[in-house]
Amino acid sequence: MSSNRAVKKIRYVLKWMPDRLYIQLNYFAHFHRFANLVKPSTFNEKLNWLKLHDHNPLYTQMADKYAVKALVESAVGSEYLIPTIGVWNSFDEIDFDSLPQSFVLKCTHDSEGIVIIRDKNNMDKKAIKKKITTALKQNYYYIGREWPYKNIKPRIIAEPFFIDDETGELRDYKFLCFNGLPKLLFVASDRGKDQVKFDFFDMRFKHLSIRQKYPNSLITIKKPDRFDEMITVCKKLAEGIPHVRVDLYEMNGKVYFGELTLYHFGGFVPFQPEEWDKRLGEYIILNI
């Protein structure tokens, strides 16, 4: 078991612990200080405050990887959705013969249960079943106390496996939005090589000297051709939300929706340089 998975398992075992205490201990482990949850000022502090105090019922649908598609279709149109090939309650319900040669399996209720199958003739079905079944049994809420996950119905969905012809991958363009306005984004690249890179940009696509969890890419990240369209989509999907990360893809000249993330990295990952935690925190307006 990897150290990252071991940590998550330990966190899950602590599900008896009250949310505020759990958040503070987890925050201390990452920042070597406790969060100010009375008058939060930084981005990460405010994300954790929102977990405790902003329980908009809509957030559960936003966090559900299948149910969110209805929200996206209503807000921006079905043309931005990656098609759903199938939806199942358990792994044994999946009819693999009916699926295309390459596809992606996702659990609807977490951020861990995803498997990319590039060639189903060579897939390790036993290993895939173990990963998906384990994910279905876990309530992701207990990992980071992100309450919208608590009541999501665990399901499995299948989607087509897409890559962009120019980049040879499906790059994630992740926009940090505040009250409907995207303020900056980062691009996740090299994911298929297990050497993930994050590069941050402002809204003019100027590279920013920010690192968070992963190193910057060694190559120049090209501005998406449909960058302005992405911004428009973000504004519609993030409207009325104090903070949400809108994840989009650009594939072969078309924009696709990825997911909505209410608590970027769970509010537990420091920025380098640290000043960005404070600067981004200024964009989140709380009703305290």
pLDDT digit string, tens, across residues 151-177: 999 999 999 998 877 777 778 899 999
Q: Do 154 and 167 reside in the same domain of the chain?
A: no
pLDDT digit string, tens, across residues 64-78: 999 999 999 999 999
Q: Is residue 188 part of a domain?
A: yes
Residue 17 CB partners (closer than 8 Å, separation 6+): 25
The answer to whether the peptide bond before residue 273 is cis (omega within 30 degrees of 0) is yes
Domain membership of residue 118 as a residue range? 82-162
Lookup: tokens for 134: 């384990």
Residue 22 CB partners (closer than 8 Å, separation 6+): 11, 14, 145
Q: Do 199 and 256 reside in the same domain of the chain?
A: yes
Residue 246 CB partners (closer than 8 Å, separation 6+): 174, 175, 177, 182, 233, 234, 237, 238, 260
CA distance 229 to 199: 20
Q: Is residue 5 part of a domain?
A: no
CA distance 249 to 279: 26
CA distance 82 to 66: 11
CA distance 145 to 99: 35
**Residue stretches of the chain with pLDDT short of 50:** 1, 3
Q: Do 171 and 31 reside in the same domain of the chain?
A: yes
Tell me the whole-structure pTM to 2 decimals: 0.92
Q: Do 144 and 202 reside in the same domain of the chain?
A: no
Q: Do 104 and 221 reside in the same domain of the chain?
A: no
The tally of domains found in the chain comes to 2
- Closest-CA residue to 134 (of 180, 101, 91, 98): 91
- Residue 50 has what pLDDT? 98
- Residue 1 has what pLDDT? 47
Task: Name 86's bridge partners.
Answer: 158
Which residue, 109, 143, 162, sits at the end of a domain? 162
CA distance 177 to 244: 5
Cβ atoms < 10 Å from Cβ of 118: 13
Q: Exposure of 42 by Cβ count < 10 A (0-12 exposed, 13-18 middle, 19+ buried)?
A: buried
Backbone angles phi, psi at 61, to 5 degrees: -65, -35
Q: Do 86 and 30 reside in the same domain of the chain?
A: no
Which residue, 103, 131, 162, sits at the end of a domain? 162
Q: Which residue has the tokens 């990295």?
A: 265
Q: Exposure of 12 by Cβ count < 10 A (0-12 exposed, 13-18 middle, 19+ buried)?
A: middle
For the chain, the distance separating the N- and C-terminal CA atoms, rounded to the nearest angstrom, is 42
Q: Do 181 and 246 reside in the same domain of the chain?
A: yes
- Closest-CA residue to 187 (of 174, 169, 196, 177): 174
pLDDT digit string, tens, across residues 246-285: 999 998 889 999 999 999 999 999 999 999 999 999 999 9
Q: Do 145 and 86 reside in the same domain of the chain?
A: yes
- Closest-CA residue to 249 (of 160, 203, 188): 188
3-state secondary structure of 26: helix
- Residue 192 has what pLDDT? 61
Backbone angles phi, psi at 84, to 5 degrees: -95, 120
- Residue 5 has what pLDDT? 59
- Residue 163 has what pLDDT? 83
Q: Do 287 and 202 reside in the same domain of the chain?
A: yes
- Residue 168 has what pLDDT? 73
> Which secondary structure element, helix H or strand E, spans residue 60, and what is its range?
helix 58-63
Q: Is residue 223 part of a domain?
A: yes
Q: Is residue 69 part of a domain?
A: no
Lookup: tokens for 93: 């319900």
Which residue, 162, 182, 209, sits at the end of a domain? 162
